[in-house]
Amino acid sequence: MAGFFWAAKPKRPPVVPTDTIIPVHYFDDNAINRSVLLYLTLRFDHVLDPGCLRGALERLMQLGGWRKLGARVRTNDQGRLEYHVPASYSAERPGFIYSHVANGGSIQDHPVASRIPRPTAQTAVYSDLGNLVDLARRSDGPRKLDDFLYSDEPQLSLHIVSFTDATLVSVSWLHTFMDAMGMSAVLRAWVSVLNGREADVPPVCNFDKDPLSSLGTAPTEPHVLAQRQLSGFNMLLFAVRYASDMIRYRDSQRTIYLPPQRLQAIKEDALRYLDDNNDEDDDATAAPPGSQKTTPSFLSDAHVDAVGRHGQRL
């Protein structure tokens, strides 16, 4: 009778005895990451060989710890996520799902792909570009976490769309699996294999090692923003304003393009700012004569994208 009112909960796939089972790390398994499926599409104005791209990624998953790229995600009896890593990959249990769509025309004639922005010398902001995600995944591809939990679907998908004058290479993955910086490392390793430079592929952490396991467990000083934490009335005020904005303003998407020269200029400006402030801190603490200055500041491109004080200048 209960099934008349609601669907029965799907069953988890059976455990494969030869799989390596490892828990998903603490900072990866949270509600936000569970709700996000990421897509990355690279446009090449050349006709690439899909078989070579596929073969190089398959080969990467045969190299040491890179095998965990083909992990399946499951929930344990406590509701936490865990990975089931196959001992090897085959046509029946591939390390990733591969799909290819061959278009017989130019990318400029495609109603959606033709709207993909082209690189320019200037910073640009683009309005809604349409449903580009349809170009980044297969038609029957997963859409949410449950699509992975109750199937033997690997977390990584490779979708290639070929035109007569261009190729779109898309990868998709769960946010619990990795972030954009993690995918950047995968892309570099993939390209190394593609170019026949397997010796340049770096090792990855062992399955059972969590690099962030001790993060925040023994702080040596208060957080720099500790005095700005919201609580009480201020927290309530923030929640009211946030809810008001969600109701008043229509959801819309914008794409910001930063040319490499502009990104580098922002990065150099930010580094000078940080180094100048580090010098002031060193002077304030009266470092002994002859002692070394603070370690030079470091900023990744991801840091630069998030530098708030430059946001008003874009």
DSSP state of 79: S
Report helix, strand or coil for 99. Answer: strand
Cα–Cα distance, 132 to 116 (Å, whole number): 8
Residue 175 falls in the annotated catalytic set: yes
Going 100 to 103 to 106 to 110, the CA torsion angle's sign is negative
Cα–Cα distance, 96 to 112 (Å, whole number): 26
Q: Are strands 72-75 and 81-85 parallel, antiparallel or unpaired?
A: antiparallel
- The label of the residue with tokens 């303003």 reads 249
- Residue 14 structure tokens: 């059976």
Q: Which of 25, 84, 159, 175 is catalytic?
A: 175
- The label of the residue with tokens 């591939």 reads 94
- Alpha carbons within 13 angstroms on the beta-carbon side of residue 190 total 16
Catalytic residue numbers? 175
